[in-house]
Amino acid sequence: MVRYLGLAKETTYGTAVAPLTFLRILGESIKFDPNFVYHRTIEGGRRLQTAQGVRQSSRGSIRFMPVYDKGLGEILNMLFGKVTTTNQEVGVRWQHVFEPLPTITTQAMPSYTIEKGLDDITGERYAGCSVGRLRIQANPGDFVLMEPEIIGKKPSTATLAAASFSSQDYINAGQVVTQTLGGVAVKFEQFSIDILGGAIPVFKPGSKEPDSIDIEPVMVTASFVSRFLSSGDLTDFLNAVTKALVYKWQGPVLGASNYSLQLDLPKLNFDEGDVVVNEQDRLVQARSVTALEDATNGLIKMTLVNNVASY
């Protein structure tokens, strides 16, 4: 039985390419919407006579637990559109810094082909794919869970690929080495982030399918829960103090360092952060935040260190 989800970066938007990287996924819901419009015109009497598809696209999500070496970098590039790669150790270790693309006047949003392996029957290939939104959950004692929302063109069938997958362990809570809020160490009991990347399909005359990818404003929100231990945390919320958040996972040894993934949110505005009392339950502080642009460090940054030159 051949089941896989593979992807590859396209040279030209919407021109499908064979998959090069394969994700170990939990499941997916990507499907084509023909978006038929049914017209009842006067000559048809009581019977429908026409169906025409317009603004056709494929949409859905992928649920997966990421690893450092295969697939994660591609998903982040599809979401943000901008990546800066540095070779930290020749032929061994690369650092990839992903940030939102500020404009498409000088650089287009990248597009990818996504292919599904449908048992031993056929492959289904979706060209022109981008990630419009990414949700990340990272809770103590559990694996990191990611769910990107995909937008793409009408699929076609394809010959099944010879898929190969990463042998790395999934990124998990046991690999957390840094959790800081405002420069102070904190232990999150729940953590989730929702990144609306702003990538949208553009429809133009001459095609019923997306013609390109454009960008809308980026929106980043997060929520987390931690034990309430300091009056300073409550005072900061009441006084509308903004803070930076750093969350870092560190994996296996890689050359003179390690595989790693780091999330930086340089300036968070706290929408929720009060403390409530319920019977004799332990006091926790549940906080909801919205990311703001920091003049020096930007809005959001995700840094991946792995053994792949092209992330």
Indicate if the pLDDT at residue 106 is higher than 70: no
Domain count, the chain: 1
User: Is position 282 within any domain?
Assistant: yes
User: Is position 40 within any domain?
Assistant: no
User: What pLDDT is recorded for position 26?
Assistant: 97
User: Is position 301 within any domain?
Assistant: yes
Distance, in Å, from the CA atom of 93 to the CA atom of 307, rounded to the nearest integer, reads 5
Length of the chain as a residue count? 311
User: What pLDDT is recorded for position 198?
Assistant: 76
User: Is position 72 within any domain?
Assistant: yes
pLDDT in tens, 114-145: 999 999 999 999 999 999 999 999 999 999 99
Q: What is the torsional sign of CA 262, 267, 270, 274?
A: positive
CB 152 within 8 A of CB 114: yes
CB 89 within 8 A of CB 256: yes
Three-class SS of the chain: CCEEEEEEECCCCCCCCCCCEEECEEEECCEEECCEEEECCHHHCCCCCEEEECCCEEEEEEEECCCCCCCHHHHHHHHHEEEEEEEEECCCEEEEEEEECCCCCCCCCCCEEEEEEECCCEEEEEEEEEEEEEEEECCCCCECEEEEEEEECCCEEECCCCCCCCCCCCCEHHHEEEEEECCEECCEEEEEEEEECCEEEECCCCCCCCCEEEECCCEEEEEEEEECCCHHHHHHHHCCCCEEEEEEEEEEEECCEEEEEEEEEEEEEEEECCCCCCCCCCCEEEEEEEECCECCCECCEEEEEECCCCC
User: Is position 45 within any domain?
Assistant: no
As a whole number, mean pLDDT of residues 247-257 equals 97
Share of the chain above pLDDT 70, in %: 99
User: What pLDDT is recorded for position 2?
Assistant: 77
Indicate if the pLDDT at residue 87 is higher than 70: yes
Query: What band does 105 get if pLDDT is binned at 50, 70 and 90?
Result: low
- Average model confidence (pLDDT) across the chain: 93
Distance, in Å, from the CA atom of 246 to the CA atom of 178, rounded to the nearest integer, reads 7
Distance, in Å, from the CA atom of 266 to the CA atom of 296, rounded to the nearest integer, reads 9
Token pair listed for 101 = 């693309």
Give the rounded distance of the alpha carbon of 269 from its chain centre: 22
Distance, in Å, from the CA atom of 80 to the CA atom of 298, rounded to the nearest integer, reads 13
List the domain range (segments joined by +) for residue 158.
3-35+53-306
CA nearest neighbour of 215 among 239, 197, 228: 197
User: What pLDDT is recorded for position 263?
Assistant: 98
User: What pLDDT is recorded for position 136?
Assistant: 98
As a whole number, mean pLDDT of residues 77-98 equals 96
User: Is position 158 within any domain?
Assistant: yes
User: Is position 223 within any domain?
Assistant: yes
pLDDT in tens, 11-69: 999 999 999 999 999 999 999 999 999 988 887 778 888 888 999 999 999 999 999 99
As a whole number, mean pLDDT of residues 102-121 equals 88
Share of the chain above pLDDT 90, in %: 79
pLDDT in tens, 282-299: 899 999 999 999 999 999
User: Is position 41 within any domain?
Assistant: no
Indicate if the pLDDT at residue 164 is higher than 90: yes
